[in-house]
Chain A
Amino acid sequence: MRQARAAVRGITAVVATLVLAGEATAHAGGLSGTFKPVAVPSWLVVATGGGVIGASFLLTSLVTDHDFIQAVTAWRADLPTRATERSVAVRGCRWLGVGVLAAIVAVGWIGPRVAAANLAIVGVWAGWWAGYAMTTYLVGNTWPAVNPWRTLAALSTQIRGNQPLRSYPDRLGAWPSVAGLIGLIWLEVVSPLAQQPRTLVAVIGVYSVVTVAGAVVYGTETWFGVVDPISRVFRWYGRVAPLQRTSKGIDLVFPGGALADGRPTGADETAFVVALLWVTTYDGLVATPAWATAVRAVVGWGLPPSVVYLGTAIAGFGCFFWIYRIAARRSRRTADTYVTARYLRDWFAPALVPIAAGYHLAHFLGYFLSLSPALIAVVAQPLAPPAAIQTLVLPAWFGTLQLVFVLAGHMLAVWVAHARSFALFPGRLAPIRGQYPFVLVMVFYTVLSMWIVGQPYTQPPYL
């Protein structure tokens, strides 16, 4: 998986420099027929990304009408769907999900050993984690309908009745899902999940047992609503999407509109959003040269590599959370308010979700498109795929598109923070001032992620 991303990252770096140089070179191109593209130093590309976020905050600060902001974020249109159509579609999706899971496990175990020719590897990474995950924030969250583990757990409740065996301890809240998300990404980085089909199947097996058992013990709604990290990721991504499931049917909203309302629930939910942002960053960070140097140095002191990887995954999350908490405390001062820093921290957390979605799109759209012929080939002939698996070569301008996705995610985040700030603080100046620290944090995230995207791919050491 990372090799493909490395290629994409290489293209990104080149194209980024070319396009960001576009302003100056366009003149040269117009005057004379020949010009040599010049490389913009990476620090300037990165600084430009930060500047774009700063500028988009300054531009949104010109929009100060409470009613207008409210009207944009609360705008929704009912999509005419019939209840019978929905229930048939949901039932179909459920069994489709279970069928796909069964096929992936079976083919992963008995199918070809070559990663790129195995349905399990291509299906999970290109099909599900890249392609399907994109639909959750670009279209709508369909995971509760297709989630095969939910269907399997529901089967057992049909046999046994709906009563959970134990009640879930409330004090744990969403913390198990925070740990689960960081744990899953650590596992993805340190183990050959994208190279060895059987390892992947084993991990899916363990996840299935834990998930179905958990859902039976604590109840399906509690498990998938509170504990399961994957359901929570898709639920958050789904709130970015234009289609929102409501009790009556399906509503069409502006992207991010569903993030602008809703009260904060607590530190655990905020921690999960920050973890979502961090794991996306971590996945890219481990493939940078600076990371390789640092890990070699630390392992040289005698620490086992997997501990170093786990330690940094946790420490990085702590660092992100700490920075975000400082921003919340500062916001209390800049907005000149009595609202507690904790409340502010939880209140502004949903604004971080579009950033994670933007990175995901930037990282995985190219990956998905380049592997889509392979996906079609292994789906068509899972047990005897063609000897030469084809992949698409993406055009050079695709790298620009990736930077645009990163920036678009941040701009949506700036807008969501703006809308949430206006919903919380009175007047028009206090809501703008209250956003300062959060915008600084977003500029920091942009700079960090654009730096990562621009780094040459380096194989993470000791894996």
Chain B
Amino acid sequence: MTEPSIADSASAPNSASTPATAIPDTETPTARCPYCSRPFRTEQACTLHLGDAHGETWTDDERATYEAAVDDEADDLFVYHLKVIGALSLLYAGYVLAYMIVLGLQG
């Protein structure tokens, strides 16, 4: 397995809860968690991580940003779930059609 990247997980202080991460040579991480220094590709991911993992120790500012990020994501998630419902309907319709055609051809 080739990973064009620098592994920096070994240096993480509390590797018990932090996954091993690697940052490609050409990139600098957009954000790093101030508590466990885990790098993130987007500011939003870092903010959401703060709420998921460090909810007990964070500051009020961080809490406010987190709540805003959750709201933002909720909008995206709503659209995503509409797509999921669409995909489910398509899948169902596709199988019903396939069975109708196959059984129709045989019967």
Contacts and interface: CB of A to CB of B under 8 A. Distances in A.
Nearest to B95: A51
Given A340-B22, A430-B45, A58 B87 contact: yes
A20 B19 CA distance: 43
B77 A44 contact: no
A325 B29 contact: no
Contact of B16 (A48, A62, A263, A430): A263
Contact of B80 (A51, A336, A429): A429
Interface of A, secondary structure class, is: helix
A426 B106 contact: no
Interface in B65-107: 69, 73, 76-77, 80-81, 84, 87-88, 91-92, 94-96, 98-100, 102-103, 106-107
B73 A428 contact: yes
Interface string B25-55: 0000100000000111110111011011100
A337 B23 CA distance: 9
B99 A338 contact: no
Interface in A83-131: none
Interface string A20-64: 110111000000000000111100100110010011001101101
A427 B45 contact: yes
B14 interface: no
B45 A59 contact: no
A338 B46 contact: no
A329 interface: yes
B42 A41 contact: no
A296 interface: no
Given A62-B81, A338-B23, A429-B76, A24 B103 contact: yes
A21 B84 CA distance: 26
B107 A339 contact: no
B14 to A, nearest CB: 12
Interface stretch (A284-292, A341-349, A376-384): A341-349
Contact of A426 (B46, B96, B102): B46
Interface in A215-273: 263
B46 A347 contact: no
Contacts of B100: 24
Contact of A61 (B1, B9, B84): B84
Contacts, number: 104
A49 B99 CA distance: 13
B32 to A, nearest CB: 10
A17 to B, nearest CB: 11
A66 B45 CA distance: 15
Contacts of B23: 338
B83 to A, nearest CB: 10
B64 interface: no
A426 B48 contact: yes
B80 to A, nearest CB: 6
B61 interface: no
A424 interface: yes
B45 A58 contact: no
Given A41-B102, A51-B95, A338 B73 contact: no
A342 B1 contact: yes
A181 interface: no
B29 A338 contact: yes
Interface string A337-378: 111111100010000000000000000000000000000000
A340 B103 contact: no
A263 B29 CA distance: 24
A63 to B, nearest CB: 11
Nearest to A339: B19
Given A342-B1, A427-B48, A44 B102 contact: yes
Nearest to A54: B91
A23 B99 contact: yes
Q: Please provide the 4 A-B residue pairs with the shortest distance between their CB atoms, ordered closest to farther.
A: A426-B49, A427-B48, A426-B48, A338-B21
23 contacts: A20-B99, A21-B99, A24-B99, A24-B103, A25-B103, A41-B102, A44-B98, A55-B91, A336-B42, A337-B21, A337-B41, A338-B21, A338-B29, A338-B39, A340-B5, A340-B19, A426-B40, A426-B46, A427-B48, A427-B52, A427-B69, A427-B73, A429-B76
